[in-house]
Amino acid sequence: MRVRTLIFGLLAAGVLGSQPVLAQHQRQVRHYNRQGRPFYTGPLRGTLGGGTALYNGDLGNRPGDNFLGPALSLGVLYRLTPHLHLGGEFSFVKLGARDQAPERGLAFVSTNGLGTVLFRFDLLPDQSVFASSTTDSPTFQVFVQGGAGLLLYSPESYRGTERATDNTSFLAPERNDYPALAGVAPVGGGLGVRLTEQLRANIEGNYYFTTTDQLDDVSNQRLGGASASNDGFGTVLLKLEYSLR
* Spatial separation of the C-alpha atoms in residues 237 and 139, rounded to whole Å: 19
Length of the chain: 245
pLDDT, tens only, 87-141: 999 999 999 999 998 888 999 999 999 999 999 999 998 877 767 766 777 899 9
Name the DSSP class of 98: E
Q: At 240, which amino acid appears?
A: L
Please state, in angstroms and as integers, the Cα–Cα distance from residue 167 to each residue in 164, 170, 172, following that order. 8, 9, 16
Domain coordinates in residue numbering, the chain: 31-243
116 contact partners, CB below 8 Å, separation of at least 6: 88, 89, 91, 147, 148, 149, 150, 184, 186
pTM for this entry: 0.83
* Spatial separation of the C-alpha atoms in residues 79 and 244, rounded to whole Å: 13
Q: At 95, which amino acid appears?
A: L
pLDDT band at 31; cut points 50, 70, 90? low
Please state, in angstroms and as integers, the Cα–Cα distance from residue 71 to each residue in 19, 29, 75, 82, following that order. 40, 34, 14, 30
Name the DSSP class of 179: S
Check: CB of residue 234 under 8 Å from CB of residue 54: yes
196 contact partners, CB below 8 Å, separation of at least 6: none
* Spatial separation of the C-alpha atoms in residues 197 and 33, rounded to whole Å: 23
pLDDT, tens only, 61-83: 999 999 999 999 999 999 998 88
Report the DSSP beta bridge partners of residue 110: 95, 155
Decide: residue 122, CB within 10 A, 0-12 exposed, 13-18 middle, 19+ buried. Answer: buried
pLDDT, tens only, 9-24: 433 444 444 444 434 4
Rounded to the nearest angstrom, the gap between the alpha carbon of residue 147 and the centroid of all alpha carbons in its chain is 10
What CATH fold (topology level) applies to the domain 31-243?
Porin (2.40.160)
The answer to whether residue 186 scores a pLDDT higher than 60 is: yes
Rounded to the nearest angstrom, the gap between the alpha carbon of residue 244 and the centroid of all alpha carbons in its chain is 18
23 contact partners, CB below 8 Å, separation of at least 6: 245
Question: What pLDDT does residue 64 have?
Answer: 92
